[in-house]
């Protein structure tokens, strides 16, 4: 007997645990088996043909679809409240496949200057090489962006809050401007996750993620996911099916397991980051703190409107220079000095060596990234221990 739930009546934490697994799996397993099989066999040629044509549910070949991968996609579809979803090997695969599936020569993209480093490369290098015109606006300057969109464009690409200074963009406002010219709106929702922000409900057409970050949450799996309308996701899926940036089934299993604690983790990330941001903004050795949850942050008002929580990433500058950063960071016991973000354990690093390493000092300055900026991804540790760790480390510089 198949159970039925109206997911609109269910909260996110419950969706994350139960969607796609109301019934037991093969052999009555209560957890999804990791199906490593590359191919799927059929005794009936007619049935094989129907599955291959998509007329009947089933799998043919794991570059296209796979049962373990499908469960991760189904959970994300339900949590994002989307019609359809499709997964990828990494976040950059999700982003590049989306852009290359939906754009053709002579199309125009409007986006922001502060997008993720890899995305920025696609905008500045790969898309122009394919004769796609890309216009990057000052991040957070809504008037400039609206004016650029009004001139006509195919696709508007947003990321909010941004890396590393947590600038905030009004998704609803920009989506309205895009709708007027018939442009598709894509939002990179990696920093927020659907627990904190639902781009599709704010008017976007596609919400995509690097699942490597908060969705996975344990720094042990790379992945990506795209959620949106059936029509758009079908095009993007088809592109991935052929180009082959498919998620591994073992990764899909890890991500399914991670999603079950997504709401719990994000609530804790939100609480911890806000407490730490408040602590840092009062500390005499700290110069600036960037966190959308602080009332002093320029994007606070919009963030308060469109987000349920302000997320687990903040950044700050110490009074001093880059040498002060080099002296300070190794003194933190409870933070890995490493790239990436969104894990249960705190991660810290300067954008100068991580996300924005490919830029010159001048280019970083233009983006408002001071050389002594530290990005800190606040984990789910006990916040008293993190503050204590900061207290001791700051007292030594």
User: Catalytic residue positions?
Assistant: 63, 116, 188, 213
- Residues with Cβ within 8 Å of 363's Cβ and at least 6 positions away in sequence, in order, are 356
Among 17, 59, 60, 118, binds ligand PLP (CB under 6 A): 118
C-alpha angle 288-292-296 in degrees, rounded to nearest 5: 55
Beta carbons within 10 angstroms of residue 189's beta carbon:
28
List binders of ligand PLP among 209-238 (CB under 6 A).
Answer: 210, 212-213, 222, 224
Whichever of 89 and 383 has its CB closer to ligand PLP, that residue is 89
Residue recorded with tokens 């040629």: 45
Q: Containing H/E element for 359? A: none
Residue 188 touches ligand PLP, criterion: CB under 6 A: yes
DSSP 280-300: HHH-TTEEEEE-TTSTTSTTH
Among 20, 67, 91, 164, binds ligand PLP (CB under 6 A): 91
Nearest to 59 by CA among 249, 210, 236, 215: 249
Near ligand PLP by CB under 6 A, which window of 74-82, 188-196, 226-234, 262-270?
A: 188-196
Near ligand PLP by CB under 6 A, which window of 2-10, 31-39, 207-215, 264-272?
A: 207-215
Near ligand PLP by CB under 6 A, which window of 11-19, 39-47, 89-97, 196-204?
A: 89-97
Beta carbons within 10 angstroms of residue 264's beta carbon:
13
Minimum gap (Å) between residue 163 Cβ and ligand PLP:
6
Near ligand PLP by CB under 6 A, which window of 61-69, 206-214, 296-304, 324-332?
A: 206-214
* Cα 317 to Cα 337: distance, rounded to the nearest angstrom: 16
The answer to whether residues 75 and 16 touch, using CB atoms and an 8 Å cutoff, is: yes
Minimum gap (Å) between residue 234 Cβ and ligand PLP:
23
Residue recorded with tokens 């006990």: 382
* Cα 197 to Cα 365: distance, rounded to the nearest angstrom: 29
Residue 192 touches ligand PLP, criterion: CB under 6 A: no
Nearest to 116 by CA among 170, 157, 174: 157
Residue 269 touches ligand PLP, criterion: CB under 6 A: no
The answer to whether residues 202 and 81 touch, using CB atoms and an 8 Å cutoff, is: no
Residue 76 touches ligand PLP, criterion: CB under 6 A: no
Residue 96 touches ligand PLP, criterion: CB under 6 A: no
Minimum gap (Å) between residue 111 Cβ and ligand PLP:
13
The answer to whether residues 342 and 261 touch, using CB atoms and an 8 Å cutoff, is: no
Minimum gap (Å) between residue 56 Cβ and ligand PLP:
33
Minimum gap (Å) between residue 95 Cβ and ligand PLP:
6
Among 111, 120, 190, 315, binds ligand PLP (CB under 6 A): 190
Whichever of 119 and 317 has its CB closer to ligand PLP, that residue is 119
The answer to whether residues 245 and 89 touch, using CB atoms and an 8 Å cutoff, is: yes
Can you read off the two tokens belonging to residue 385? 């221990």
Nearest to 247 by CA among 45, 119, 92: 92
Residue 331-360 contact track with ligand PLP, rule CB under 6 A, x = bound? ------------------------------
Q: Which residue is nearest to ligand PLP (CB)?
A: 91
Residue 97 touches ligand PLP, criterion: CB under 6 A: no
Near ligand PLP by CB under 6 A, which window of 100-108, 186-194, 283-291, 345-353?
A: 186-194
- What residues form DSSP beta bridges with 224? 88, 210
Residue 90 touches ligand PLP, criterion: CB under 6 A: yes
Residue recorded with tokens 């799998």: 59
Rg (CA), the chain: 22
Task: By CB under 6 A, name the binding residues for ligand PLP.
Answer: 90-92, 116, 118, 159, 163, 188, 190-191, 210, 212-213, 222, 224
């Amino acid at each position: 007997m198949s159970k039925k739930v109206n997911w609109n009546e269910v909260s996110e934490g419950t969706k994350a645990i139960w969607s796609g697994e109301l019934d037991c799996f093969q052999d009555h397993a209560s957890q999804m088996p990791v199906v490593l099989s590359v191919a799927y066999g059929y005794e009936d040629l007619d049935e094989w043909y129907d599955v291959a044509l998509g007329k009947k549910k089933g799998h043919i070949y794991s570059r296209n679809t796979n049962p373990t991968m499908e469960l991760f996609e189904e959970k994300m579809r339900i949590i994002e409240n989307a019609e359809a979803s499709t997964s990828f090997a990494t976040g950059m695969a999700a982003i590049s496949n989306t852009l290359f599936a939906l754009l053709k020569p002579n199309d125009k993209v409007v986006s922001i200057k502060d997008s993720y480093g890899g995305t920025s490369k696609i905008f500045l290098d790969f898309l122009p090489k394919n004769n796609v015109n890309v216009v990057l606006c000052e991040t957070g300057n809504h008037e400039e962006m609206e004016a650029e969109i009004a001139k006509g464009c195919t696709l508007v690409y947003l990321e909010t809050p941004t890396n590393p200074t947590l600038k905030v963009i009004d998704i609803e406002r920009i989506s309205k401007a895009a709708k007027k010219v018939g442009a598709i709106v894509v939002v990179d929702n990696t920093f927020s996750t659907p627990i904190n922000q639902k781009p599709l409900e704010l008017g976007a057409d596609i919400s995509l993620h690097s699942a490597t970050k908060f969705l996975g949450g344990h720094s042990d799996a790379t992945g990506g996911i795209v959620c949106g309308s059936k029509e758009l996701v079908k095009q993007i899926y088809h592109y991935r099916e052929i180009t082959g940036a498919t998620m591994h089934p073992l990764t899909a299993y890890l991500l399914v397991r991670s999603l079950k604690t997504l709401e719990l983790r994000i609530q804790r990330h939100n609480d911890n980051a806000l407490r730490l941001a408040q602590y840092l903004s009062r500390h005499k050795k700290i110069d600036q703190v960037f966190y959308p949850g602080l009332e002093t942050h320029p994007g606070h008002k919009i963030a308060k409107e469109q987000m349920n929580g302000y997320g687990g990433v903040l950044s700050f500058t110490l009074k001093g220079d880059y040498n002060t950063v080099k002296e300070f960071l190794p003194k933190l016991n409870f933070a890995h000095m490493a790239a990436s973000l969104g894990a249960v354990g705190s991660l810290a690093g300067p954008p100068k060596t991580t996300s924005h390493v490919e830029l010159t000092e001048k280019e970083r300055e233009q983006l408002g990234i001071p050389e002594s900026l530290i990005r800190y991804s606040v984990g789910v540790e006990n916040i008293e221990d993190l503050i204590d760790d900061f207290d001791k480390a700051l007292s030594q510089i």
